[in-house]
Structure 1
Amino acid sequence: MEPIPSAPAMHQQHRAGEATTGPLAVITMLFFMWGLLTSLNDILIPHLKAVYMLSYVQAMLVQFCFFGAYFLVSAAAGMLIKKIGYQHGVVVGLLAAAAGCALFYPAALGGYGLFLCALFVLASGVTVLQVAANPYVTVLGDARSASSRLTLTQAFNSLGTTVGPLLGGVMILSGTVLSAQQLANMPSDAQAAYRTAQAAMVQIPYLMLAAVLVLLAVVFMVIRLPRIAHDGDPAREHGNKSILGYRHLVLGVGAIFLYVGGEVSIGSFLINFLEDSRVASLSQADAAHYVSFYWGAAMVGRFIGFAAMRYISPGKALMFNAGCAVFLLLCAILGRGHLAMWSILLVGLCNSIMFPTIFSMALRGLGVRTGQASGLLCMGIVGGALVPFAQGLLADTIGLRASYLVPVACYVFVFYYGWKYAAPATHPLRKSSH
């Protein structure tokens, strides 16, 4: 994958490092939307699990298809944006995501497989948005405050992930869910009618989202965003060194893989965890509100991090948050009742600064290779597909609570990455770290 230049069609050109508040505000809308779309998976999983009587592993195919798109589409998205530019890439991403949402309408009549196909199309559009927007934010201002700036936009991403489960809980999980035994006692035609009615509850919410995404695409067609150009020649600045020769980037891809995997895995099983009689004994609809608390805690932490990380080393902040996440997860695994419930929910607060901090640390000092590196980092988001799948296998064999050891291991690596590159925020990474 080649470095991603800006679109020639953009008439206004800004050099990396200039303050551009207006464009940053416009791009922030995208972070909100893909946060909302991603967090709705946490509502879809228990809903489809109940409708189609799925095992945990089968239900995790939702995340496997959604986040698997990041791995399969990121490289192509990078090449696409190289040809058409950041702004036009955003338009393509929005329209693709809208098409995926629209496919939920026929999927409700066609079964679980069509839902998975619709999710893959939706996620492909979100992947294009991620590949375009994340590096765009890192270069819209002073490089020393890139972590802080990306943390701010990620805070609005968390606002979307907070709103998503609330809307999904009301619009998707509000119906009566029958147990496996109740469904088995019904005649076959009644079972089929029940499954169709339950599956159809996702149609209206996703059609509404499709309309919003199309509207946003129209907005991005007509507005003007600054063109981003990096100074320097790639051959002169980096020689013939492979992009994989930058150790802080390669380890950053691993950290993104495991962080996203751990965060998504926790949210994916959260409703089922809160249903447990040893934890909270909540209904699915009530538990959905607490999923919003999990993502909302990340939003609060990101607004705090936006200010604090102007003065704190990104690596040290990453170490602290990852260490707290490990501690809280162990409390959730070993504890009961409110201790277990609130421990796992507060992991969301620890997640707050992790993605933007890892992302900006991994891109530091790459200059003209920023776009290429961004594509690699977005491929790392495939952790959201594989880690929940691994936890699902463990949940089916040793139990749901013990399966949370999987995200514990993920956060241990994130702690290591923060320790490895805990350089001061105002200084570039040392050459030895490359």
Structure 2
Amino acid sequence: MAVAPSTTVIPSEAPASARTNYAPALTLLASLFFMWGFITVINNTLLPHLRAVFDLSYTQTTLIESVWFIAYFVASIPSAKLIERIGYQKSLVTGLLIMAAGSLGMMLAASIPSYGVTLVMLFVIASGITLLQVAANPYVAVVGKPETASSRLNLVQAMNSAGTMLAPMFGAYLILGRSKSGTAEAGAVISQADRLADAHSVILPYGLVAAVLVVLAIVIARFPLPAMGNATSRVAKEERRQHSLWKHRNLVFGVPAIFIYLIAEIGVANLFVNFVSQPQIANLTHEAAGRYLTFLWGGMMIGRFVGSAIMQRVRAETVLAAVSIGAFVVMMVTVFAHGPVAMWSLILVGLFHSIMFPTIFTLGIKGLGPLTEEGSGLLIMAIAGGALVIVQGWLADRFGLQWSFLLTAACELYILFYALWGAKPTEQVEG
């Protein structure tokens, strides 16, 4: 099989002294989790904005997000090779600068304006985020006690959720709140001149994002990040050949679990504004709906803090099964209810989605030993599942936006299957 990307893995528990030395590094990594969460969720307010500016169908709108997540698949292997070549710290700086370049490109796309250039620049930003993700997620998951890996990654991912919670307010105020389409009542006709003016509202927010990314890159470049030494070296090829990834059920079913979960999470977030702004749901302007999106991501942040604490005492598989059932129930309410009930049920799914990604990730690499590196890479590449949000866009165009959330409900059932059976390791390999 092809070697999947990931280069910063510690297969076994680090000694207490080493864990203490990693504390500053983990704190700094938390800021990266915050930033890539923030930038990713700006898309949730950007998509309804671009839909109005370019007069897009739901399929064309969700194609924007599909391009974003295709970057995870395309950029993962090059990211791994880059980390091997220039090292962990320089790769983090490079990833941030790539993201900053893409943000500057978004300013260009807004100035033209151009749907095509927008797609390219969002791909560039997502490629930079991929470079950060390839290293950061497995690093946090395996530093420390294996039995608390899910708790640890959920805790750091809570900073990612803090970024996702603040981003909708940022986007609602600086993008939707400063555009004609964002403040207009549902069904209002927007002139071509207004569309052109609306496109320019993207320039300021992405300029601010680019500046923050450059500053953060400078900070990380100057930070005395501890050298990981031999603990993070790639395991010898000869040793890896003695084992097979396909014998590990928790990984084999974990890769599609990440893929399918991303379809659910991204579909909910990206169609939230359009859904709740409908007359039969909450009849809000896009700007007002964007503010309610904060509650969705805020629920994910709270859920990760709470989930981190719960998983200190309760098995991760049990917690994952419980939240998948909760997510399925609220999604069915969203499909069949109307008015505020449908809106708040969709908001509530964020609480149940909160611990899914980090928990599936840590369960997926459990017991892989020297294969942890390849297994982590496959799980990172599975984030590309978010690209299939275009399927929900097609369903929304064909059957209606509300009915399209049946796809999300089906995704929750697979996560339940994984928690109850697929996550059980079939073979343990010593690290």
Same fold at TM > 0.5? yes
Which residue of structure 2 aligns with residue 70 of structure 1? 72
Q: CA deviation at 1:225?
A: 2.1
- Give runs of aligned pairs for residues 292-331 of structure 1, distance below 5 A: 292-331=294-333
1:182 alignment counterpart: 189
Q: Per-residue displacement from partner, 1:69-108 (whole Å, max 9, x unpaired)?
A: 0011112112222222322221111111111111011101
Report 1:179-218 matches (<5 A): 182-183=189-190, 191=192, 193-218=193-218
Query: Would you say 1:403 and 2:410 are equivalent positions?
Result: no
Opposite residue 266 of structure 2, the aligned amino acid is: V
Which aligned pairs between 1:3-18 and structure 2 lie closer than 5 A?
4-5=6-7, 16=14, 18=18
Q: What does the per-residue CA deviation read over 1:154-184, in whole Å, with 9 as the maximum and x for residues that have no partner?
A: 101000000001000000001222677734x
User: What pairs up with 1:255-274 in 2 under 5 angstroms?
Assistant: 255-274=257-276
Relative distance call for 1:301 and 1:409 in structure 2 (3 A) is same
Q: Are the structure 2 counterparts of residues 203 and 90 from structure 1 closer, same or farther at C-alpha, using a change threshold of 3 Å?
A: same
Q: Take 1:233 and 1:379, find their aligned partners in 2: how far apart are those partners?
A: 20
**Cα 1:235/1:71, change in 2 over 3 Å:** closer
> Of residues 420, 427, 431 in structure 2, which corresponds to 1:431?
427
Give the residue type in structure 2 aligned to 1:176.
K
Q: Distance in 1 between matches of 2:221 and 2:234?
A: 30
Moved more, 73-82 or 51-60: 73-82
* 1:6–1:382 distance in 2 versus 1, CA, 3 Å: closer
Deviations 1:238-258 (A, max 9, x none): 543343443321211101111
Query: Which letter does structure 2 place at the counterpart of 1:417?
Result: Y
- Give the distance between the partners of 1:131 and 1:288, measured in 2 at CA: 30
Call closer, same or farther: CA 1:405–1:254 in 2, change over 3 Å.
same
Q: What does residue 139 of structure 1 align with?
A: 142
Q: Indicate how the Cα distance of structure 1 residues 176 and 195 shifts in structure 2: closer, same or farther if over 3 A, else same.
A: closer
1:25 lines up with 2:23 in the alignment: no
- Please state how far the C-alpha of 1:342 moved relative to its aligned partner: 1.0
Q: Which amino acid aligns with 1:212?
A: V
Deviation string, structure 1 residues 388-414 (Cα, Å, up to 9, x no partner): 100110100110110001111111111
* Closer, same or farther: CA 378–231 of 1 in aligned 2, 3 Å: closer
Question: How far, CA to CA, are the matches of 2:81 and 2:313 in structure 1?
Answer: 36
- Segments of 5+ residues of structure 2 without an aligned counterpart are none
Among residues 351, 365, 378, which one is paired with 1:363 in the alignment?
365
Match of 2:59 among 48, 57, 60: 57
Q: How big is the shift at 1:432?
A: 8.2
Q: Which whole-Å CA distance do the structure 2 matches of 1:3 and 1:51 have between them?
A: 37
CA distance in 2, matches of 1:27, 1:232: 21
Compared CA separation, residues 273 and 78, structure 1 to 2 (3 A): same
Is 1:337 the counterpart of 2:339? The answer is: yes
> 2:7 touches 2:233 (CA, 8 Å); kept in 1?
no
Cα distance in 2 for partners of 1:4, 1:71 equals 13
Matched-pair contact (CA < 8 Å) for 1:5–1:85: no
Check if 1:156 corresponds to 2:163: no
Q: Structure 1 residues 309 and 6, CA, compared in 2 at 3 Å: closer, same or farther?
A: closer
Q: How is 1:220-231 mapped onto 2 (pairs within 5 angstroms)?
A: 220-228=220-228, 229=231
Q: 2:416 — aligned with what? A: 415
SS at match of 2:189: helix
TM-score in terms of structure 1 length: 0.90
Partner of 1:10: none
- Stretch deviating more after TM superposition (26-35 or 141-150): 141-150
1:114 aligns with 2:117: yes
Q: Which residue of 2 aligns with 1:276?
A: 278
Aligned residues, how many? 415
CA drift at 1:261: 1.3
CA distance in structure 2 between the partners assigned to 1:242 and 1:48 by the alignment: 45
The whole-number CA distance in structure 1 between the counterparts of 2:142 and 2:393 is 38
Equivalents in 1 of 2:237, 2:247: separation in Å? 14
Instruction: Report if the CA contact (8 A) 1:89-1:132 is conserved.
Output: no
8 A contact 2:254–2:422 mirrored in 1: no
Letter in 2 for 1:85: G
C-alpha RMSD of matched pairs (Å): 2.3
Partner of 2:288: 286
Q: Which amino acid aligns with 1:199?
A: A
Specify the alignment match of 1:11 in structure 2: none
Q: Report the equivalent of 1:35.
A: 37
| 1:216-255 equivalent positions in 2, closer than 5 A | 216-228=216-228, 229=231, 234=236, 238-255=240-257
Distance 1:358 1:182 in 2: 44
